[in-house]
């Protein structure tokens, strides 16, 4: 017959000290990583998505890439405009054409 050692009841302070000590030991001496463990991705891969443009204009809360056209609000009503660059700032270049209605 195999006897298991009897455990003595621990007080709250002793249990807290023991758990803090075991956590400190795990931080100082982490367990070795074996070759059989799989790597876990922290962030989903973004291979299928198009990269964000480096330079863009804003229109109704959306990013419009440089060179693309959008229908923006002006004092003359909604007009087609092209996102472009003036020196080193992005700006809208308005056209005379009103926005096409669908």
Over residues 49-73, the pLDDT tens digits come to: 666 657 889 888 888 888 999 999 8
Query: Are 57 and 50 contacting, i.e. CB atoms less than 8 angstroms apart?
Result: no
DSSP-derived 3-state class of residue 50: coil
The pLDDT value recorded for residue 91 is: 92
Query: Are 98 and 79 contacting, i.e. CB atoms less than 8 angstroms apart?
Result: yes
Which positions of the chain have pLDDT values less than 70? 1-18, 21-23, 26-53, 102
Q: Is the pTM of this model over 0.85?
A: no
The pLDDT value recorded for residue 77 is: 86
The pLDDT value recorded for residue 32 is: 64
Residues 6+ apart with CB under 8 A from 57: 63, 64, 66, 70, 83, 90, 91, 92
């Amino acid at each position: 017959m195999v006897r298991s050692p009897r455990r003595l009841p621990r007080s709250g302070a002793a249990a807290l000290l023991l758990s803090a000590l075991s956590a400190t030991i795990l931080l100082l001496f982490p367990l070795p990583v074996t070759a059989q463990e799989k790597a876990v991705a922290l962030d989903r891969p973004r291979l299928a998505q198009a990269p964000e443009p480096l330079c863009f204009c804003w229109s109704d809360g959306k990013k419009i890439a440089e060179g693309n056209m959008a229908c923006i609000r002006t004092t003359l009503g909604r007009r087609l405009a092209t996102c472009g660059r003036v020196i080193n700032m992005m700006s809208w270049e308005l056209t005379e054409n009103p926005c096409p209605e669908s």
